[in-house]
Amino acid sequence: MVLSRLLLLAPVMLLLAACASGPQPMPGDAPRLDMPAVGEVWRYRESNGFRGETVADITHTVTRADAGGIEMVVGVAGAPLSALREGHVERYSRPWDVLQDSVYDRVRRYTPAMPLIRADAPLGVRVDDQARVERPPERRAENWTTLSRFIGWETVTVPAGSFRAARYERVSSYFDADVFRWRTERRETLWYAPEVRHWVKREVGGTWTRPIWQRGRRFELLRDDWIVWELTGHERP
C-alpha cells in the first residue's frame, strides 16, 4: 500500500520540483483571503489552451457568503471544454475551500473541503491535502491527494487589466471511478488577486493512463484538455 502510494505521487513531486526550478515570481507573504459579498460577480473567458481559442464566457455570481459558507451560481454562454454548465452551484466552506464544483468533469463533492488556495502556506513549501470525492449520483468515492505550493507574486495581464497576483501551483492525483481511466493527475495553476478577491487567471490540465486490463493499450499515457480561464470583468454590489 505504501509503495503503491509513493509510485502514484512520484510524478507529482517531480512536476512540482520542475515548477520550482523555473523563473521565479517575486517573494512575499501569502495573500489574505477576504470573504466575497452577495451579488458579487466575476466574468471569465474560457479558452482551449492548446489552440488558443475562446470557447465560452463564464460567470460566477455569489448568492451566499456568511459563516455557513459561500455559494456561487455559474452562468455559461458558449460550448465550454470544462464541465461548467448553466445553473451549476459551487459551494465553499470558506474562501476558497471547495465543497462542491464541476470544473473537472460533472459535479464533485469533497469531504473535507479541499483548499484551492492555502493562505497559511509559507512561500515555496509543499502542502499536502487529502479528501474523499464523490460524483453524484454514484456512491463510490475517490481518494484525492493534492500537493500545492505558494510560488510568489506576479503581475498578470488578462482582458480585465493587469493585477498583482499570488501564484499557486497544484497537482491532484487519484484513482478515477471511471474504470477506463487509471492514475489520473490534474495539474493546475491559479493567480489570486486580492484586488478582486478571486483568481484572475486559472489553468487546468492533466494526464491519465489506460488501465492494465485494456489489451494492447495498457499504460498508454493520454492528455486531458488544457483549459484556461481569464478574468474579463468584476462587479461588486
DSSP count for the chain of H helices, then E strands? 1, 13
- CATH classification of the domain holding 23: 2.40.360
Asked if omega into 36 is within 30° of 0 (cis), the reply is no
d(CA 172, CA 185): 6
**Residue 28: per-residue pLDDT:** 81
For the record, the C-alpha cell of 215 comes out as: 489489451
Residues 6 or more apart whose CB falls under 8 angstroms from that of 126 comprise 16, 147, 148, 149
Q: Which domain holds residue 142?
A: 2-235
pLDDT tens, the chain, 237 aa long: 433 443 344 444 444 444 444 446 777 888 999 999 999 999 999 999 999 999 999 999 999 999 999 999 999 999 999 999 999 999 999 999 999 999 887 899 999 999 999 988 899 999 999 999 998 888 788 888 999 999 999 999 999 999 999 999 999 887 766 666 667 788 999 999 999 999 999 999 987 676 666 666 666 666 778 999 999 999 999
Name residue, grid cell 478571486. Answer: 198
Count: domains in the chain: 1
What are the backbone angles phi and psi of residue 8, rounded to the nearest 5°?
Answer: -65, -40
182 — alpha (psi -120 to 50), left (phi > 0) or beta?
A: beta
**Residue 138: per-residue pLDDT:** 81
Structure pTM?
Answer: 0.84
**Residue 209: per-residue pLDDT:** 74
User: Nearest 5 degrees, angle CA 87-CA 88-CA 93?
Assistant: 130
Q: Closest Cα to residue 171, out of 123, 114, 106?
A: 114
Classify 138 as helix, strand or coil: coil
Name residue, grid cell 449520483. Answer: 137
Classify 24 as helix, strand or coil: coil
What sections of 92-237 are H helices per DSSP?
none
Classify 149 as helix, strand or coil: strand
